[in-house]
Amino acid sequence: MPPPSQIRPEPLITSPITRRTVLKAGGTLLLSVFAPLPAMAAQILAVRVWPAADYTRVTLENDSILKATHFIVKDPERLVIDIEGLELNPTLKGLVAKIQSNDPYIKQVRVGQNRPNVVRLVFDLKEEVRPQLFTLPPAGSYNHRLIFDLYPVQEPDLIAQMIEKGDWSSDPAKPPMADTRTPPPALPLPDSGKPPVAVAPPAEIRPDVRPELRPEVRQDPRPEARPQPGQKVVRLITIALDPGHGGEDPGATGSRGSREKDIVLSIAKRLKSKLEMQPNMRVMLTRDADFFVPLGMRVEKARKVQADLFVSIHADAFIQPSARGSSVFVLSEKGATSSAARWMANKENQADLIGGVNVKNHDQQLASVLLDLSTTAQINDSMKLGSAVLREIGGINRLHKGSVEQAGFAVLKAPDIPSILIETAFISNPEEEAKLTDNAYQDQLADAIVTGIKNYFAKNPPLAKSRSA
């Protein structure tokens, strides 16, 4: 049997193996393993719109920092925004349905993929606006945010707005300024038994001491007009009410889902209605809807209307649900009166971080300047006001502490306005959360604050102090 034939395999590499060949092969392998993947587009996590007369805010919450450019198109007015590194997704498309018909500035919005990785938003506007675009880092429960604030070109006249929205009363027998030697009618005490919504005017009574009233405040705050001999001057007392938080900043949240921003706005509106039923009192709300107002702007609004008092309304929260009781705070220049007061001030002063402030347009020195201008007289007046209000609140709810506390609250730093911050109750306490959401309790609380304010003016007439603006 013949031997089997031998099969010679063909060599796999016909050319000689060189160092260059090995390096080329290794480089090809590395490139195939480490080749860059296509860049992942940013993801829009949520869209929110906060319309208000002051300004409309549009928020895009996303998982990374976004870069955006914008320009205005005329006839008709449109705001065009291009956002880079973004692909259109259903969440962003949902912005179209978020625009409300009563939005003061936005008529509608169109959303589309302008080119790869660039989404274009076109806002059809109802009037000319001053847009501000800025980003916010993660804060609170929020991720990265891209913010569009649409402000009116003409800054609103706060005094004109207050007059337009006001419903204050005065003695029908006398105009705001009258020539008479008899004192004007006394501010009536509130009726704590009124129903929660429909409020009947209470009967008037005369306290032992009647606050003297000045002529209605003009927009020029400098020298006041002096009454002629024999002329009794009557003027409207202006009170600034400040419902805390709002818009992007919900404030504290109760176990039942109640939000501080909603509760304090409801209380402030009730309080406004009751105060404006008193003769010669008018009220300015720093916000009258669900939108955010920076802390410094709240103070500025009060000063622009030359407020006689500033009352900020909040609802406490603490890590332990057993904490309870109402509190009243005033400003301190020398540090907090307790660790709890310091903790509360630090928490409330973080509102700008969560609510969102455009750092480029924000006056970084505002808080320190106002604090430097704050006088001992202002804090003393605030203590008197706080004590009068706290005494009345103690009649309807347990007090967290029996005296007015002091801490460095940024919102209390108006140098020429007695200012207090009321923590109405602990929203983190289930029992007190139920109270805060009850119409009857809100009415009782508003009545107590009205009585405290009237008692303060009975002992501290507005003309007893000099004012500077």
The 3-class SS string of 351-391 reads: HHHHHCCCHHHCCCCHHHHHHHHCCHHHHHHHHHHHHHHHH
Cα(368)–Cα(374) distance, integer angstroms: 10
Confidence of residue 169 (pLDDT cuts 50, 70, 90): low
| Amino acid in the structure at residue 63 | D
229 confidence band (pLDDT: 50, 70, 90) = very low
Buried b (16+ CB within 10 A) or exposed e, 303-338: bbbbbbbbbbbbbbbbeebeebbbbbbbbbeeebbe
User: What percent of the chain has a predicted confidence (pLDDT) above 70?
Assistant: 68
Phi, psi of 263 (to 5 degrees): -65, -45
CB-based contacts of 382: which residues, under 8 Å, 6+ apart?
330, 331, 412, 418, 419, 420
Residues 289, 55 contacting (CB under 8 angstroms):
no
Q: Please say if the pLDDT value at position 82 is more than 90.
A: yes
d(CA 68, CA 443): 47
Higher pLDDT, 364 or 406: 406
Query: Which pLDDT score is estimated for 172?
Result: 40
Res 45 pLDDT > 60? yes
Q: Evaluate if residue 212 carries a pLDDT over 60.
A: no
Question: Among residues 200, 256, 245, 311, which one has the least CA distance to residue 437?
Answer: 256
The Cα–Cα gap between 244 and 380 comes to 23
Length of the chain: 469
* Confidence class for position 173, pLDDT limits 50, 70, 90: very low
Q: Report the pLDDT value the prediction gives residue 129, as an integer from 0 to 100.
A: 95
Which has the higher per-residue pLDDT, 316 or 425? 425
Burial class (CB in 10 A: 0-12, 13-18, 19+), 159: middle
What pLDDT score was predicted for residue 175? 37
- For position 39, what pLDDT does the model report? 54
Exposed, middle or buried, 255 (CB in 10 Å: 0-12/13-18/19+)?
exposed
In terms of Cβ atoms closer than 10 Å to its own Cβ (0-12, 13-18, 19+), residue 205 is exposed
Among 72-81, 153-162, 203-212, the least confident range: 203-212
Q: What is the pLDDT of residues 315-362, one digit of tens each?
A: 988 888 888 999 999 988 776 656 666 666 666 666 767 777 776 665
What mean pLDDT value characterizes the chain?
77
Which phi and psi (to 5°) does residue 241 adopt?
-105, 135
Question: For residues 461 and 456, which has the higher predicted lDDT (pLDDT)?
Answer: 456
Residue 160: per-residue pLDDT: 76
Per-residue model confidence (pLDDT) at position 415: 81
Confidence of residue 462 (pLDDT cuts 50, 70, 90): confident
Point out which residues pair with 106 in neighbouring strands.
Answer: 125
The single-letter DSSP state of residue 313 is: E
Residues 6+ apart with CB under 8 A from 103: 49, 51, 56, 126
Mean pLDDT of 26-30: 50
Say which residue the tokens 């800054």 belong to.
155
What is the C-alpha to C-alpha distance for residues 390 and 66, in angstroms, rounded to an integer? 47
Give the separation between CA 134 and CA 33, rounded to whole angstroms: 39
d(CA 67, CA 142): 18
Among 28-37, 60-69, 333-342, name the most confident range.
60-69
pLDDT band at residue 16 using 50, 70 and 90 as cut-offs: low
pLDDT in the model for residue 157: 79
